[in-house]
Amino acid sequence: MKVEIKYFGMLAEITGCSTERFTVVDLKMAGLKKELLKKYPDFANTDFRMAQNKELVTDTTLLTGKEIAVLPPFAGG
């Protein structure tokens, strides 16, 4: 399945883009996460969370491909 992913904060710096089309085989969020970590090993350095269709999701959530976002925590103030 092809999904479009939005990257935030330092994750967008790692990918060099704010959105990207991605092809995934595994239809669970965990599968997509694994693919992302494979393509961008530096993602492992942030405790990021994934969202789909404007809701935070877990590893076991099924991919619908709707508005995937990858969010890192920010510390700054």
Partner 1 sequence: MSRYGRHISLKEIGIIGQNKINASKVLVVGAGGLGCPVLQYLVGAGVGNIGIVDFDVVEESNLQRQILFGTSSMGKNKAKMAKEVLLHLNPTINIKAYNEKLTPENSISIIEQYDIVVDATDNFASRYLINDATVVLGKPLVYGAIYKFEGQVTVFNYNNGPSYRCVFPNLPQKGTMANCSEVGVLGVLPGIIGTMQANEVLKIILDIGESLAGKLYCFNALTNQSNTIGIARNEEQIEKVKNRGYDFETLDDSFFCTSSVSEINMENAIAEDIQYIDVRELHEQPRIALNNVLEIPLGELSNQMDTISKDKKIVVFCKSGIRSKQAVSLLKQYDISNCFSLKEGISAFKKRFQKQYK
Please answer whether residues 69 and 56 qualify as being in contact, where contact means their C-beta atoms are separated by less than 8 angstroms: no
CB of 25 to partner 1, least distance (A): 26
Residue 59 as a binder of partner 1 (CB under 8 A): the answer is: no
In the list 4, 18, 27, 37, the residue contacting partner 1 (rule: CB under 8 A) is 18
Residue 36 as a binder of partner 1 (CB under 8 A): the answer is: no
Q: Which is nearer to partner 1, 30 or 71 (CB)?
A: 71
The torsion of the CA quartet 44, 49, 54, 60, rounded to 10 degrees, works out to 100
Q: Which two tokens stand for residue 23?
A: 């092809």
